[in-house]
Structure 1
Amino acid sequence: MIEKIWFHRHLLGYLLAPILWPLSLLFKRIIRQRRHAYLSGGKPRYRAPVPVIVVGNITAGGNGKTPVVIWLVETLQALGMKPGVVSRGYGGKAAAYPLIVDANTSSLESGDEPALIKRRTGAPVAVDPVRSQAVKALLDCDVDVIITDDGLQHYALERDIELVVIDGQRRFGNEQYIPFGPLREGLERLSEVDFLITNGGLAQGNEIAMTLEPSKAINLKTGEVVAVDSLPQLVAFAGIGHPPRFFKTLSTLGADVIKTQAFADHQAFEQAELNQLAEQGQHLIMTEKDAVKCHPFAQDNWWYLPVSAHISAQDKQIIIKKITEVKSQYGSSST
């Protein structure tokens, strides 16, 4: 229902306005005071000895940040750089922090996104609710640039480049602060960042257009790769920020989807629950982010659909140029 209030101007939003509006104003005040405290020097900030790139957003919910992080890591790796990724590990519960993610780290420890990024890129990934601690841990992993998955509002960590990912379909909803709207920060914040990347929809002004391009379905148990439209009677589920985006992708690919099930973002899945869901069709298909949690108990007919961020060659070069310029300012000690 909160999605309908934020993005579809549902009648309930007007009815709850006397409660949500004051809370929204309070949130706005707290956020601005906190930011001012860091930027004015009232609170300490950590400056890493290597460039720090933040990939974040100004709205709550899934905008496509993690695919952009993966794209950025793979782009820099292809250039011979050694990127590392930090995350707060939302949804994970590690025994101790910072946590360096490896092939044996459970998503229950690290959270969904860190496990996915590690699996896809092989880059060093560190998790800590205090991002500066994660950065310090990565410095022992032979990295020469740090990418933070989310963290635009984590002002305790200084950064060199900021990329904001925008949901091209939902944009900024009713343009109100949490909880009356989806904004973590005001729209004026967009004029301060280095790059605006629009996921789907129509890029506006100086925004960089980005699309999520799906590949073939991959079997969780065997690694078999097949075209999505070759799998009959698919039951699709997604526990991401905006599940309809995944279901729409399947429809675009001509998938034979007979049932869809949306879960909360970072949902902790129960094997019995998914087994019951799978029984309603011949195959079960999920997002790659959900798959990292389901590998331990996957069945033979369970599949996931990877998607990759696509940005034009021209815009890619503009981003690379900025990163290269910033990196050169750190000198040879960061290479």
Structure 2
Amino acid sequence: MALALKPAGAIYTLGARLRDAMTRPFHASVPVVCIGNPTLGGAGKTPTAVAVARALATMGMAPHFLSRGYGGKLTGATDVDAKHHSAADVGDEPLLLARHAPTHVSRDRVAGARQAAAAGANVIVMDDGFQNPTLHKDVSFLVIDGAGGVGNGLVFPAGPLRAPLGGQIARADALVVVGPGAGGEAVAEEARSAGVPVLLASLRPDPAARILKGMPVFAFSGIGRPAKFLETLAGLGARIAGHRDFADHHGYRAADIAQIKTLANKSGAKTIVTTEKDYVRLDEGNDPGGRFRAGVMPVPVSLKFADPAKLADLLAPVLPAMPRPEARAQASPDPSR
């Protein structure tokens, strides 16, 4: 099937190249640090974005996040307010980002960058958008999952790549490999051969999750690679009595919640666990009164870089953050991810 779809992947690549050639990137008045990934699906971009923003904050910067708001219904530039917005409004990832720094969502990345700068950002950390040519990036990180790598190495729809890997690596300032794995090692070697620095990182669960050691749990998640969540639970010593996987960014319905409760009861689990990203997709719309949420334990994770000093060196170009005149963009009409 993958080989049969290769021609479609070639057309997809050609379309992206034409869009890039026809677009003059907009230079925002503050630096932009982009956290992207070369593939569709989960790689750890959002935890990476949080870790990068924290590093910038320790350097005296005032980072704001910018996201497309994938999965949300709001299309215009919006300041995320976790007290009033739901995942259905702005997407799940922006709700997580807003816990750490001011966050803006916008399908139009240029409008979002302008809003962030007007709101007081002196550096923008953009979650995703590496392949979007409308906004100039001062520093770009490509994030890959060490275990998953780049799959079969083919471009969508034949494979998981958003564009040919070599071209993406060439445009990146660094590659971030999250967790161990042969797939990640292979991509890291390709990056090093191209002269692109490689940063190693790992996801670490919140210390409070240690109470799960030895506990029978029922897990559910709708993320890019659900097996990653199960690996995290196993690393904590939890006993996985059962699990239910959903598609990435799955919008939970009351029927899903009823199914999860039924499966959890049958499994003999003592508690139900999920990811932070899934937990924020549970709200009054699918769980009126919050009774289900009250019995679910989210397991937060944070990303740690193996070499923080190397990260700091890569972020050095944005530290002056001197205001600069805006340069109007001649952007394509499709501000996609």
Q: TM-score, normalised by structure 1?
A: 0.84
- From the superposition, tell whether residues 153 and 333 of structure 1 become closer, same or farther in structure 2 (CA, over 3 Å): closer
**Aligned counterpart in structure 1 of residue 271 of structure 2, from 283, 288, 302:** 283
In the other structure, the counterpart of 1:237 is 220
Q: How does 1:223-302 map to 2 (within 5 A)?
A: 227-229=211-213, 232-279=215-262, 280=264, 281-294=269-282, 296=284, 297=287, 298=290, 299=292, 300-302=294-296
Shift of 1:192: 2.7
Q: Aligned letter for 2:115? A: A
In the other structure, the counterpart of 2:179 is 200
SS at 1:284's partner residue? Answer: strand
Shift of 1:295: 5.0
**Aligned counterpart in structure 2 of residue 91 of structure 1, from 71, 80, 98:** 71
Could you list the runs of 5+ residues in structure 1 that have no partner in the other structure? 1-11, 39-43, 218-224
Q: Please tell me whether the aligned partners of residues 58 and 183 of structure 1 are also in contact (alpha carbons under 8 angstroms).
A: yes
**Aligned counterpart in structure 1 of residue 138 of structure 2, from 160, 171, 174:** 160
Q: Once the two structures are superposed, what CA deviation does each residue of 1:222-263 show, in whole Å capped at 9, x if it has no partner?
A: xxx761225x43110111111111011111211121111110
Q: Aligned letter for 1:265? A: D
Q: Aligned letter for 1:133? A: A
Q: Aligned letter for 2:55? A: T
CA–CA distance in structure 2, aligned partners of residues 318 and 248 of structure 1: 28
Q: How does 1:119-130 map to 2 (within 5 A)?
A: 119=99, 121=100, 123-130=101-108
- From the superposition, tell whether residues 318 and 233 of structure 1 become closer, same or farther in structure 2 (CA, over 3 Å): closer
CA–CA distance in structure 2, aligned partners of residues 251 and 28 of structure 1: 39
| Structure 1 consecutive aligned stretches of length 4 or more whose deviation exceeds 4 Å | none
CA–CA distance in structure 2, aligned partners of residues 234 and 324 of structure 1: 44
Q: Please tell me whether the aligned partners of residues 50 and 327 of structure 1 are also in contact (alpha carbons under 8 angstroms).
A: no
Could you list the runs of 5+ residues in structure 2 that have no partner in the other structure? 193-197, 326-337
Q: TM-score, normalised by structure 2?
A: 0.83
CA–CA distance in structure 1, aligned partners of residues 82 and 15 of structure 2: 39
**Aligned counterpart in structure 2 of residue 317 of structure 1, from 309, 318, 324:** 309
Larger RCO, structure (CA 8 Å, separation 6 or more): 2
2:209 equivalent to 1:215: no
CA–CA distance in structure 1, aligned partners of residues 94 and 261 of structure 2: 26
Q: Once the two structures are superposed, what CA deviation does each residue of 1:47-91 show, in whole Å capped at 9, x if it has no partner?
A: 101110110011111010000001111222222210001111010
2:104 equivalent to 1:115: no
Shift of 1:216: 4.0
Q: Please tell me whether the aligned partners of residues 199 and 311 of structure 2 are also in contact (alpha carbons under 8 angstroms).
A: no
Q: Please tell me whether the aligned partners of residues 26 and 110 of structure 2 are also in contact (alpha carbons under 8 angstroms).
A: yes
SS at 1:227's partner residue? Answer: helix
Q: Please tell me whether the aligned partners of residues 216 and 305 of structure 1 are also in contact (alpha carbons under 8 angstroms).
A: no
SS at 1:45's partner residue? Answer: coil
In the other structure, the counterpart of 1:7 is none
| Aligned length in residues | 300
- Report percent identity of matched pairs: 32
CA–CA distance in structure 2, aligned partners of residues 97 and 191 of structure 1: 32
In the other structure, the counterpart of 2:11 is 26
Q: Please tell me whether the aligned partners of residues 37 and 144 of structure 2 are also in contact (alpha carbons under 8 angstroms).
A: yes
- From the superposition, tell whether residues 24 and 333 of structure 1 become closer, same or farther in structure 2 (CA, over 3 Å): closer
Q: Please tell me whether the aligned partners of residues 282 and 301 of structure 1 are also in contact (alpha carbons under 8 angstroms).
A: no
In the other structure, the counterpart of 1:4 is none
CA–CA distance in structure 1, aligned partners of residues 21 and 234 of structure 2: 45
**Aligned counterpart in structure 2 of residue 137 of structure 1, from 110, 115, 121:** 115
SS at 2:9's partner residue? Answer: helix
Q: Once the two structures are superposed, what CA deviation does each residue of 1:94-147 show, in whole Å capped at 9, x if it has no partner?
A: 2x511100132212111000001112x1x1111011111111111121110001
